[in-house]
Amino acid sequence: MAKQARAWQRMLSGRRLDLLDPTPVDIEIEDIAHGLAFVARWNGQTYGDYAYSVAEHSLLVEALFHRITPDATPADRLTALLHDAPEYVIGDMISPVKAAVGPGYGALDDRLTAAIHIRFGLPAVTAPQLKRRIKKADKISAWMEATQIAGFSIGEADKFFGRPDREVIEGLRIDLRPPVEVRNDFTNRHAELLELMS
């Protein structure tokens, strides 16, 4: 009889997260923030002395989401902040790799998302309208990242992501920072939004 492969990962908090059957009690924001601060977007192919992390991206998406949806609730904004949270254990895959992996990646992402959302008092499944608005902020973020740190021309970025309204991105700039700073900012933003939800 073949030995079953281990499907859990030990987190720095001491939690054992079962990747195939994650439970909300094994989710800790410190683990998410730490993991996301060390996961590079764009497969690390960005300019600068530090990788552009998923945690930094998530902070930008939440800020953009608030700009395009100023009447969003704190819970909606927390959903935006956590939109890529499963990547703290499954990493950030560029879209072509996700397509090659197939539907198994999406199912794993969905299970992790549900556990994370339940842990922080959010609906397990994001409502379609909210998901679309977060995706819009995500695409604006991708355009900014592509043109500021990933070597895309504006024309290329426009083709792949669509050019955002100038007012939405005004005053926002991507500055690459050490992971510990980003981790702390992500954790603090999470705490602020939870406080607003209570």
pLDDT in tens, 34-62: 999 999 999 999 999 999 999 999 999 99
Q: Rounded mean pLDDT of 19-24?
A: 91
Domain residue ranges of the chain, discontinuous segments joined by +: 26-197
Task: Give the per-residue pLDDT at 192.
Answer: 98
Quickly state the pLDDT bin for 165 (edges 50, 70, 90). Answer: very high
pLDDT digits (tens, 9 = 90+) for 62-93: 999 999 999 999 999 999 999 999 999 988 87
Q: How far, CA to CA in Å, does 12 sit from each of 32, 35, 48, 88, 155?
A: 10, 10, 28, 12, 42
How many other C-beta atoms lie within 10 A of the C-beta of residue 165?
A: 10
Q: What is the model's pTM? A: 0.94
Q: Which fold has domain 26-197?
A: Hypothetical protein af1432 (1.10.3210)
